[in-house]
């Protein structure tokens, strides 16, 4: 197993709706439990973790038995209000099982547009991390809208996670998705599609070849993930895109294993025998 030299202390993990909600619309409790276990374990090892989570609307749909995401903004925001409460209840239960403490932050884009409010948010995150409390961040979907000059939406949580990671000086952003990484072509259409293990530059050609969201519950897609990677790379940091089917894969990422697609400057390869006892 090829491993990579990765020195990181502060990490941001982003998990998408497709990882939190089954195709039948039910909440994926196993994924939430494994996510809580993994992040709690890393916190116990001394890492500073921030979780950016999607899923409020999807959980709200599950709670009310809604099978089709409504087009009306007010209906989506109502589902988000219901789902956010349910989602945080699930996180509180699961993280508590592993002795971890969490806190919730709901953000809108204008918070980062103004220096004073941005600093307040960053100070809050720092204060939580110093107390070994994991911030769980989501966009405030119940109030965030793009209307005239009132810019509040991030557009998707891929962009939010990259912005948060950059602002708090995170060394690594791990994006958990419904795909194993970036492929040279759509793996759903081409059986011979090959996973790209590392990307040092997101070109216009790579962006043009990316598709949209693959589920009816999520809003993001490969383009938003590549843009998030660009934010991290421009900041001189790294991002890993990998499958969210089993969040315990984060432990392999932090251990330096070559899983998913790594974005950023080339990392120094480390002989696997050095880590044989890890």
CATH number of the domain at 131, please: 3.40.1160.10
209 is annotated as contributing to ligand binding:
no
Residue 88 near residue 105 (C-beta atoms within 8 A): no
Q: What angle do CA 252, 215, 201 make, to 5 degrees?
A: 50
* Total-model pTM: 0.87
> Could you give the CA distance from residue 103 to residue 66 in angstroms, rounded to a whole number?
28
The b-or-e profile of 190-201 (16+ CB within 10 A means b, else e) is eeeeeebebbee
- Domain for residue 69, yes or no? yes
| Sequence-separated (6 or more) residues with CB below 8 Å from residue 206 | 182, 199, 226
- Domain for residue 269, yes or no? no
- Domain for residue 273, yes or no? no
- Domain for residue 267, yes or no? no
Q: Which tokens is 127 given?
A: 């204060």
14 is annotated as contributing to ligand binding:
yes
155 band by pLDDT with thresholds 50, 70 and 90: low
- Domain for residue 182, yes or no? yes
219 is annotated as contributing to ligand binding:
yes
223 is annotated as contributing to ligand binding:
yes
Three-state SS at 248: coil
pLDDT at 56: 94
Q: Is the dihedral of CA 258, 263, 266, 268 positive or negative?
A: negative
220 is annotated as contributing to ligand binding:
yes
pLDDT at 261: 94
- Domain for residue 169, yes or no? yes
158 is annotated as contributing to ligand binding:
no
55 band by pLDDT with thresholds 50, 70 and 90: very high
Q: Which of 57, 54, 82, 56 is nearest to 69 (CA)?
A: 57
225 is annotated as contributing to ligand binding:
yes
Q: Which tokens is 91 given?
A: 């996180």
Three-state SS at 138: strand
Give the total residue count for the chain.
Answer: 278
- Domain for residue 271, yes or no? no
> Could you give the CA distance from residue 251 to residue 173 in angstroms, rounded to a whole number?
13
Lowest mean pLDDT segment, chosen from 52-61, 64-73, 178-187, 210-219:
210-219
Query: Between 219 and 55, where is the model more confident?
Result: 55
How many domains does one find in the chain?
Answer: 1
- The stretch 14-41 carries a mean pLDDT of 96
Full residue range of the structural domain in which residue 176 is found = 8-261
């Amino acid at each position: 197993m090829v491993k990579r030299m990765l020195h990181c202390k502060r990490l941001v993990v982003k998990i998408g709706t497709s990882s939190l909600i089954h195709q039948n619309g039910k909440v994926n409790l196993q994924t939430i439990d494994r996510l809580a276990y993994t992040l709690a374990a890393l916190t116990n090892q001394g890492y500073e973790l921030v979780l950016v989570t999607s899923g409020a609307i999807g959980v709200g749909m599950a709670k009310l038995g809604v099978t089709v995401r409504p087009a009306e903004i007010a209906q989506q925001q109502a589902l988000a209000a219901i789902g956010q409460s349910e989602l945080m209840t699930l996180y509180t239960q699961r993280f508590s099982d592993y002795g971890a403490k969490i806190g919730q932050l709901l953000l809108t884009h204008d918070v980062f547009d103004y220096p004073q409010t941005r600093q307040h948010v960053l100070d809050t995150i720092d204060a939580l991390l110093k107390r070994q409390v994991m911030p769980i961040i989501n966009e405030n979907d119940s109030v965030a809208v793009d209307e005239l000059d009132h810019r509040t939406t991030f557009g998707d949580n891929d962009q939010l996670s990259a912005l948060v990671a950059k602002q708090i000086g995170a060394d690594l952003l791990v994006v958990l998705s419904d795909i194993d990484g970036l492929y040279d072509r759509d793996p759903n259409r081409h059986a011979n599609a090959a996973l790209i293990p590392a990307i040092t530059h997101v070109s216009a050609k790579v962006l043009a070849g990316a598709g949209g969201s693959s589920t009816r519950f999520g809003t993001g897609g490969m383009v938003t993930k590549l843009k998030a990677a660009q934010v991290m790379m421009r900041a001189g940091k790294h991002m890993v895109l990998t499958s969210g089917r089993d969040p315990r894969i984060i432990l392999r990422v932090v251990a330096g294993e070559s899983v998913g697609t790594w974005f950023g400057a080339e990392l120094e390869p480390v002989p696997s025998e050095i880590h044989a006892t890890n």
